[in-house]
Amino acid sequence: MSRTLYDEIPSLDLNDFISGDDERRDAFVKELGNAYNEIGFVAVKNHFLAEELTAKLYSAVKAFFDLPDDIKQQYEIPDLAGQRGYIGKGKEHAKGRNTGDLKEFYHIGQEVEGNDPIRNEYPENIWPSEIPNFEKVGLEVYRRLEQTGTTMLRAIALYLNLPENYFDDKVKNGNSILRPIHYFPIEKPEEIPSDAVRAAEHGDINLITLLMGASADGLQVLRRDGKWIPITALPDQLVVNVGDMLERLTNGKLKSTIHRVVNPPRQLMNKPRYSIPFFMHPRSEVSLAALDNCVSSDSPKKWDDITAGEFLNQRLKEIGLKK
């Protein structure tokens, strides 16, 4: 079977999937599956997040990160292992590295409605009083991205020959995280560690990641022939990629592709960069054991069984957020 080496990530239109037209829907599922087999990333337009809402969140995020460090640190709670609130500069590093990434970020988590007992697993969100609209806008963006992610997972389920709603109950009130990131300006590049980068090469922990503001320079994906290619997306697109949990669940059929954010040229290190990924997680009790139809004599089972909660805890320790 011939395989495609993409020079850029494929662009898809979510309207093709939700249009009610079987032919367009089938084509979307096939294109999505092919891309996730080969490179693990797509750019998607006509999702559920309006540009106006994106702009409002970026405005609030920039206002927060512009605050003095001593104020931001009031919203950093060490006992939470970085799962809510502010996480300071250099605290997170890629798996297998010790040098911290050149970033700071903020975590907004699931707010459970109704009587679902899983609410007892999640800490409360932390909202900075200095930015009054952060909570309202942050939660609205969270819901819109969650809706988009659930729809993408329905297409993925069909590609995997599963019932369309296979993932619905697994991600309802899941442990998903919205993460505004500030790659802060470096005024004196000579004073940072020589191997420090904005985000070292890594795979995401979760099922899928939906990324807003993905077209700023620096984001790259590792193609399977070993070449790094830039990830570009139009302003109205989300970049949606496979995470390690989905790769594990599909026994490697869908690829959690390594990606990174490289430093700009030295003369531009004093310019900030912002991005806001949404890490879509299942509920903690969901098994990541390989799906039966992804295991065969040609593709034997690659990983031991583990739950999503166990896998998350393991990875949080590996990236330095949990002791």
Is residue 175 domain-resident? yes
Question: What's the pLDDT score for residue 1?
Answer: 41
- The one-digit pLDDT tens for each residue of the chain (323 residues) are 446 777 888 999 999 999 999 999 999 999 999 999 888 899 999 999 999 999 999 999 999 999 999 999 999 998 888 889 999 987 765 566 666 677 899 999 999 988 999 999 999 999 999 999 999 999 999 999 999 999 999 999 999 999 999 999 999 999 999 999 998 887 777 666 666 666 678 788 999 999 986 445 788 888 888 899 888 778 889 999 999 999 999 999 998 988 888 777 777 778 888 889 999 999 999 999 999 999 998 999 999 999 999 998 888 777 666 66
The secondary structure of residue 44, as a DSSP letter, is E
Is residue 95 domain-resident? yes
Is residue 1 domain-resident? no
Is residue 323 domain-resident? no
Q: What CATH number is given to the structural domain containing 168?
A: 2.60.120.330
Handedness of CA 31, 226, 96, 215 (dihedral sign): negative
**C-beta separation of 65 from 104 below 8 A:** yes
Question: What's the pLDDT score for residue 97?
Answer: 61
**C-beta separation of 54 from 212 below 8 A:** yes
pTM: 0.92
Is residue 295 domain-resident? yes
Q: Do the bridges between strand 199-202 and strand 177-178 make them parallel or antiparallel, or are there none, so unpaired?
A: unpaired
Is residue 5 domain-resident? no
**C-beta separation of 271 from 41 below 8 A:** no
Residue 257 CA from chain centroid, whole number? 12
Question: What's the pLDDT score for residue 319?
Answer: 64
Is residue 34 domain-resident? yes
Q: Which two tokens stand for residue 27?
A: 């084509």
Number of domains in the chain: 1
DSSP string, 144-207: HHHHHHHHHHHHHHHHTTS-TTTTHHHHTT---EE--EEE---S-GGGS-TT--SEEEE--SSS
Question: For residue 86, which of 107, 57, 64 has the smallest C-alpha distance?
Answer: 107
Q: The domain containing residue 223 runs over which residues?
A: 11-318
Handedness of CA 11, 35, 226, 221 (dihedral sign): positive
Burial class of residue 77 in the structure, from the number of CB atoms within 10 Å of its CB (0-12 exposed, 13-18 middle, 19+ buried): middle
Question: What's the pLDDT score for residue 95?
Answer: 65
Is residue 81 domain-resident? yes
**C-beta separation of 89 from 155 below 8 A:** no
